[in-house]
Chains A and B, each alone.
Chain A
Amino acid sequence: MMRALYSAALGMKAQQTNVDIISNNLANVNTTAFKKDKAEFKDLLYETLSRADVIAGDGKPVSLQIGHGVTISAITKSFSEGNLERTENPLDLAIQGEGFFVVSTPNGPRYTRDGSFKVSNVDGQIKLVTSDGYPVLAEGDTEIVLPETAISSITIDETGRITYKDAEGRVQDSGLKIKIVRFLNPQGLLAEGKNLYAVSAASGDPVSEEEIEGPKSRILQGFLEMSNVQVVDEMVKLIIAQRAYEINSKAIQTADDMLSMANNLKR
């Protein structure tokens, strides 16, 4: 009936999604290794009321187009690094760089930057697992199985190599190295919740950092990567989104007032 009504309604809808995204960011401000999301907007189709046409002396040099509102075109994740928090827990690992840990889930391998690992007794073996109990994978896609005495003295160096002290206090190389992979387009990863990501066609296949030349990610033992959400940024975005929502609602009111006047032409 009136384009303005629909355009403004789409504006409200897009801002509502924007607020959903912002509140999810704020809710995850303390989630280890959480990566913030950002809504990207795009304008919709334009309706051409009259085409540009050049007739000498009587042409319209510019076409007459009215847009149809807005939509959210993408929700992009920012993979910037979060602050590091020192925990002094030898099983807490943080990645400095673009890499991801690989964990084995019942649905196949998943990728995470959350290095708050634990040890768990699975089928009589002591394994390195995530907080949700998924085994962490080492190079060669093997699970990380450790002797019982190793847990209190485990050392993981920057490259991910695991060493520990045996009962006599001698340093032993476990022969295991934590696998770190990298993606061409990490923004294409599918966030699955539980701090896990799955590959998609857009992200490209994971590439093990072992096979990459040049600078690699560093693993920091005793640290955790915190969420990269900045509360101030999100609050500012929230205020802008709220006002944008409000002005769109004013546009709906105005369009409605106009329609009501049109209806009152006939009394």
Chain B
Amino acid sequence: MIRGIYTSASGMILNQKLMDLTANNIANVSTTGFKRDIAQVESFRRMMTYRIYDDSSNSIDNAIGYMSLGADVSRIVSDFSQGLYIKTDEPLNLAIRGSGFFAVEKVDPQTGQVQVYYTRNGAFTLNSNGELVTLEGFRVLGQNGRIVLQNQGKIRIDEQGNIYQDGRFVDRLRLVDFQDKTLLRKIGNNLFEADAQSQQIAFSGRVLQGYLEGSNVNSVQEMVNMINVLRAYEANQKAFIAQDETLQKAVNEIARK
């Protein structure tokens, strides 16, 4: 009986986490290149339950069976399905069709250490040195490191990520893909961090110039998720209250006489 209260509470806590996740997806419905998160839920490990204080028993028969006392979020993975493409006609707006990421580097202002991150947000611009950067100022990487463009001249980027300015080849974008994308970790700023174990594979997608990839959050789906979560939370709350009422009876009524 009291065990059940904890089970219901774990269900409520679980659904609260799911709600946090859904709210983050919903908040990022307009974030360029955002990939929605999905939670996988697993029940607690099953445990064997025994009768206790059972005089008739002799060790073997007093097992009741297995049960699991609650559930929790076991893993949160990003759904890397494609977002829809938004035409912007800006020469420095790039979208990736298919799997893959742009590589960008972030320099730690204190230590000067360089860390490479990956993003699907191709809203790029130039900084005052003519380097191709993200809107956060992180440098976009090419095959030869930083990509420096001239003050003038039409910039053309083909589907393979080759950058041309006035017909002159500048560099090729460093486009990467991963064997197991579930090992990528989101760090905010639309960036992903790769694990040391994640194996890079050849890029197979295509680059679209003048487009941005929108968020792949589907508001209808998230709305349905939200309703599910709310009702599951409510059901757990009702179960909690029912058990509390039973407990109340046991405490206040059975011992009355």
- Give A residues with C-beta under 8 Å from B: 2-5, 7-8, 10-11, 14-15, 18, 38-46, 49, 52, 54, 60-70, 73-74, 76, 78, 80, 98, 182, 184-185, 187-188, 201-204, 207, 212, 214-215, 240-241, 243-244, 247-248, 250-251, 254-255, 257-258, 261-262, 264-265, 267
Contact = CB atoms under 8 A, between A and B. Distances in A.
B136 A212 contact: no
Contact of B27 (A10, A52, A203): A10
B234 A261 contact: yes
A127 to B, nearest CB: 30
Nearest to A216: B152
Nearest to B227: A254
B76 A64 contact: yes
Interface in B120-141: 121, 123, 125-128, 130, 135-136
Interface stretch (B98-106, B156-164, B184-192): B184-192
Contacts of A243: 219
* Chain A interface SS verdict (over half): mixed
B212 to A, nearest CB: 9
Contacts of B186: 43, 46, 65, 67
B79 interface: no
Given A41-B30, A241-B30, A187 B23 contact: no
Given A74-B135, A76-B135, A265-B240, A42 B189 contact: yes
B32 A184 contact: no
Given A14-B27, A73-B189, A7 B230 contact: no
The 9 A-B residue pairs whose C-beta atoms are closest, nearest first, are: A11-B27, A4-B23, A67-B24, A74-B135, A3-B20, A41-B31, A7-B23, A204-B128, A70-B27
Contacts, number: 207
A255 B75 contact: no
25 contacts: A4-B16, A7-B23, A8-B26, A10-B27, A11-B23, A11-B29, A14-B27, A40-B135, A41-B31, A42-B190, A43-B24, A43-B31, A46-B186, A61-B182, A67-B188, A80-B89, A185-B125, A185-B128, A215-B152, A244-B29, A244-B219, A248-B23, A248-B26, A248-B27, A251-B226
B185 A66 contact: no
A45 B186 CA distance: 8
Interface string B215-239: 0000100110011011001100100
A248 B219 CA distance: 10
B176 interface: no
Contacts of A8: 23, 26-27
B118 interface: no
B146 to A, nearest CB: 15
Contacts of B189: 42-43, 73
Contacts of B20: 2-4, 7, 66
Contacts of A78: 88, 90
